[in-house]
Every structure is written in structure tokens, then in C-alpha cells.
Amino acid sequence: MEDKELMEKELLIIKGVCDLYLHGTIESTTAEVHSAFKEALNESLDIQNKIYNLMVERGWYKTETADQNKISSAKQKFISQ
């Protein structure tokens, strides 16, 4: 398996982990459990950010700049609702 494919899989896994920790944090019934999930979430977000930045540096994660007209149009749509 290529490095790019491994990093893509790692990124998907860590995003799923972040989602689980987020819901654990939100649904916590005690301060201690909330704190534990929140700490795990923050650590996972740091890992996700490192993986993302590595992929961007290597040109493996391409993003497109959003068209300003489309942004304005969407904003107006939601403001008018």
C-alpha cells in the first residue's frame, strides 16, 4: 500500500475517532467523564491536524477555493429564510 493511501485511511479513521469523542463529550453525565472525553477529543484533533498538514505538504490533499459569488449567494439564501 502506498504512503498516500495509508495516510488517507489514517485521516478517515481519526475523523471517525473525533466524531465518537465529540459525542461522548456531549453526552457525558458527569464532569469527570466529560473531561476525559474532551481531553481525548482535543488530542485526536491535534493528530488529525498533523495528518492533514502532512498530506497538504505532499500535495495529497487538494482543496479548491470557494467562488465568492457562490458564498454570497448561499449566505443571502439563508439570511432570507
pLDDT digits (tens, 9 = 90+) for 16-71: 999 999 999 999 999 999 999 999 999 999 999 999 999 999 999 988 888 899 88
Using CA atoms, how far apart are residues 78 and 72, in angstroms rounded to an integer?
Answer: 10
Q: Could you count the other beta carbons within 10 Å of the beta carbon of residue 48?
A: 17
Q: In this model, does residue 1 exceed pLDDT 80?
A: no
Q: What's this model's pTM, rounded to 2 decimal places?
A: 0.78
Query: Angle 37-20-2 (CA atoms, 0-180°, nearest 5)?
Result: 115
For range 75-80, the mean pLDDT: 88
Q: In this model, does residue 2 exceed pLDDT 90?
A: yes
Q: What is the DSSP string of 35-68?
A: HHHHHHHHHHHHHHHHHHHHHHHTT-S---PPPH
pLDDT at 66: 87
